[in-house]
Structures are given as structure tokens and as C-alpha cells.
Amino acid sequence: MQSNSKDSRGNFPAPTAQTSGIPTATSNDELIPALRVKNLRFYYGSQKALEGISMDIYRNQITAIIGPSGCGKSTFIKALNRIGELEGKVRVEGTVTFFGQNIYGRRVNPNRLRRHIGMVFQKPNPFARSIYDNVAYGVRLMGRRSKAQLDEIVESALRSAALWDEVKDKLHQSAYGLSGGQQQRLCIARALAVKPKVLLMDEPCSALDPIATMRIEELLQTLRQELTIVIVTHNMQQASRISDYTAFFSTDESRIGQLVEFGLTPKIFTEAIQERTRDYVAGRFG
Ligand SMILES: Nc1ncnc2c1ncn2[C@@H]1O[C@H](COP(=O)(O)OP(=O)(O)OP(=O)(O)O)[C@@H](O)[C@H]1O
């Protein structure tokens, strides 16, 4: 087991190797859980939205979360960086550990946690500021940097998000002048600028056209070399194209979200164990 202690600045420990026993999607890679979810229950007020979710999210893998509308996919990923609790009176039971650290521990600073576990939303949501200021935003909040340092971070994040060449000559123009697909890549750059270890993405392509979607999918394949990615998607083809692991969520008879099946993506799409999973991926319900 890993230590729960943080360093003197409240940072999370560096990941240490921990094998999971489940075969990896890419041979010979060691699977290390970045996030381990155990018996997670999530309530909005008195209304339970998720029941007993347990699964691992592996480092440098892409995990897709699929399932019918209202089954708790967004709620689940919002529980992974504690952004869900910004939505009002919520209660979380069970545990979520991030490289061994309980993210719901009393001494955890949620803002610092969200720097390590970033999020990109369904609708691109750049701030009403310049392209440069959007990317620099989170970095500035972390403390003073010289202009040269900031310039370097902004360029590096825009390059990682495959946007640099398109915007390098208009960094000080409004982000609102970009296309939808560019705005979404800007939001990815903004998330990457603070160097997260995990990127949570809630239907990041649902507002984009097929070409912009393809660019984001290609980008994710590059980013997974440095990052752990969790993506909620309604698009079955997208889940099967881009992810290593897939978690299928659905609701029980009380309409509470639950995890029906989790496994390697090819298995979930071609030889799922649960009939409900087979029906869903075949388009027979949802
Ligand atoms: N802020 C909120 N307050 C109260 N209930 C909420 C809130 N957000 C979601 N819910 C409820 O929690 C349940 C799960 O919603 P959630 O948005 O997580 O599902 P989802 O699978 O992501 O749905 P979709 O695919 O339609 O986006 C739903 O019953 C929803 O009405």
C-alpha cells in the first residue's frame, strides 16, 4: 500500500508502481491505477445518484464511460476530482484514491486536487479573454511567473493541444473568435497548462463536427502517453475507437446509477459478460 501522506506543500505523492492483475491493453505495459474507486455512493441532497461503484482507472490508459442518459456518467467523473460538490448539497460515500491518497480526506485541498485532475466539459467554455490569457489562467493562480516562463508554458500547452500552429499569430485576440473545435482544443490546452496527471472529459466532442472530433480523438492518442484520460461518450464508435478500457453504467429499477460491467474495450464491445451490456453496445436499448 502507498503512503497517504502529502509533502509539506500539500502535494500528492508521485505515483509508485502497483500492478492490478488485469491484463493490459498494450502488451508488456505495467498497469498502475491512477484512481481507485471503492463502493462509491453519490447523493444530490437526499437523492442517491450512484450506488456501489468500484473500479480502477489505469495510468496512461483511456477509459471510456458509456451508458444511457441519466445513468450517472457525469456524476461519476465529477466525483473523481470533487467538482461535483460545487453543484450544491451533495454527499459522497465510499473511497476514491488518487495514487494512494484518499481524495475525500479531510486535509485534501479540492482546488489543488483539481490541478492534478483536470476537466474538459461538453460545451467548449473558454473565458472572455485572449487565447493567451485563457491558457495562462490556471498557471497564474498557482503563483508569480516571469513573462518568459509564462510564454513557454502557454506555447507548450497549445502545442500539446495541437492548436499552436493555428493560433500562434493571434495569441492576444479573443478566444471567442475561434471555431468550436479550436475552442475545445483551447480548453484542453488550458487544462494541460497546469500539468495534470488525469484529464476527465465529459462528452468533449458532442458539440463538434466530424473533422473537429477526429482531431480531438487523434490528440487524445498523443496525450495518453503523458496522461490518464477518462472520457464520457454517447458515441459507441468513439468509445471503441479510442479507449483501452470501457465502463458501462446503467440504472437499476430505482433509477439509481450503477456500474454494470468494466473491462478491456474490445471485450466489452464483442464479448461482454452481462446481457445488458451486450444489448446496449448493440444499440438494442438506451
Ligand atoms: N446538480 C444536480 N442536482 C440534482 N440532481 C442531479 C444533478 N445533476 C445530475 N442529477 C441527477 O443525477 C442523475 C444522473 O445524472 P448525470 O448527469 O450524472 O447522468 P448522465 O449519465 O451523465 O446523463 P447524460 O448522458 O444525459 O448526460 C440524474 O437522475 C440527474 O437528474
Instruction: Return the CATH fold of 33-281.
Output: Rossmann fold (3.40.50)
Neighbours of 87 (CB within 10 A): 10
Neighbours of 91 (CB within 10 A): 12
Cα–Cα nearest to 4, from 100, 80, 116: 100
Separation of CA 48 and ligand 1 centre (Å): 11
Minimum CA distance residue for ligand 1 atom 31? 70
Q: What is the dihedral of CA 233, 185, 243, 53, to 10 degrees?
A: -50
Residues contacting residue 149 through CB under 8 Å, at least 6 positions apart: none
Name the residue ranges covered by the structural domains of the chain. Answer: 33-281
Q: In a mutational test of the pocket of ligand 1, which residue from 41, 43, 69, 75 has the highest number of ligand atoms less than 8 Å from its CB?
A: 75
Helices (H), the chain: 73-79, 110-116, 131-141, 147-160, 164-167, 180-192, 210-223, 236-242, 265-270, 275-281
ipTM over 0.90: yes
Question: How do the pLDDT tens digits run along the chain, 286 residues long?
Answer: 333 444 444 444 443 333 333 334 444 468 999 999 999 999 999 999 999 999 999 999 999 999 999 999 999 999 999 999 998 899 999 999 999 999 999 999 999 999 999 999 999 999 999 999 999 999 999 888 899 999 999 999 999 998 999 999 999 999 999 999 999 999 999 999 999 999 999 999 988 888 889 989 999 999 999 999 999 999 999 999 999 999 999 998 889 999 999 999 999 999 999 999 999 999 887 7
For the chain, what is the radius of gyration of the CA atoms?
19
Q: In a mutational test of the pocket of ligand 1, which residue from 40, 74, 235 has the highest number of ligand atoms less than 8 Å from its CB?
A: 74
- The whole-angstrom separation of Cα 5 and Cα 249 is 33
Q: Which amino acid is at 149?
A: Q
Give the predicted TM-score (pTM) of the model: 0.88
